[in-house]
Amino acid sequence: MLEITLGIITFLTSIVAGVVGIGGGMMLIAILPSFLPLNALIPVHGLTQMSSNFSRAVFGYKDVEYEVIPKFLVGSLLGIALFSSILFYISLEYVPLFIGVYILLSLWSTKFNEKIKRYENYYIAGFFQTGLSMVVGATGPLTMTLLLKDYGDKHKVVATGAALMSITHIFKVIVFVFFGFVFWDYVGVLSFMIAGAIAGSFVGTKLRDKIDGKRFIMVLKVLLSALAIKLMVSLFL
């Protein structure tokens, strides 16, 4: 029964991500503590989100902007190498606050965008999104915010974001395996969750066509802003 329940929940959250490109993973990580032990939470979530994002990228492969992937990949390799090695020696308590502030300013401040544009690129995005994903649950908005500014097309934003987030989650899973987490112990739960994630990606991709482009951009900006505020508020609660 647990497996079926989590499969359905993952299916529904993956639909949300398939439509707007983000938010499904945050919803899932908020629900999982009611069903799984804490030590399994991040690894199981990571593998499930890897499946969700990768399938979303495959279903929208024609819209993926492939030229950004090598840049993001290089940044990700450096980020995961650095953060996994210093994870136990530094305090990352205020990282969510800085991520939240960056997202809000990037989405709504023209002056901030004019100043930050020369420093924004996919090498840096990969470095921080993948490196910080080891400790901060919501790093996906970093890349989605950048993609939203670079590409106005909803399908390009969602498909390319899914491809980049797949890289992040793949590295996370590799690190968890390296540190000794046994995914096979949760093979039953993972099977249903991965199936739900892929099915949700398919349905979400189809539903995205029903949303007007301008409305999509506004919905995504509001959702990203809400996630940014949640990141900052959770630091003080």
Q: For 90-103, what is each residue's pLDDT tens digit?
A: 666 776 777 778 77
Instruction: Please state the domain count of the chain.
Output: 1
How far is 60 from 54, CA to CA, in rounded Å? 10
pLDDT at 116 over 80: no
Predicted TM-score (pTM) of this structure = 0.84
Average pLDDT score over the chain: 86
- Size of the chain in residues: 237
Q: Which domain holds residue 82?
A: 2-236
pLDDT at 207 over 70: yes
How far is 70 from 16, CA to CA, in rounded Å? 27
* Amino acid 110: pLDDT: 79
Share of the chain above pLDDT 70, in %: 93
Give residue 75's identity as a one-letter amino acid code: G
Residue position matching structure tokens 């993973």: 25
pLDDT tier at 137, thresholds 50, 70, 90: low
* Amino acid 7: pLDDT: 95
| Mean pLDDT calculated for residue range 219-235 | 82
* Amino acid 164: pLDDT: 95
Which of 92-101, 120-129, 175-184 has the lowest average pLDDT?
Answer: 92-101
* Amino acid 138: pLDDT: 61
* Amino acid 92: pLDDT: 62
How far is 175 from 172, CA to CA, in rounded Å? 5
In terms of Cβ atoms closer than 10 Å to its own Cβ (0-12, 13-18, 19+), residue 209 is: exposed
How far is 146 from 53, CA to CA, in rounded Å? 17
pLDDT tier at 225, thresholds 50, 70, 90: confident
Tens of pLDDT, residues 32-91: 888 888 788 888 988 999 999 999 999 999 999 999 999 999 999 999 888 878 766 766
Share of the chain above pLDDT 90, in %: 39
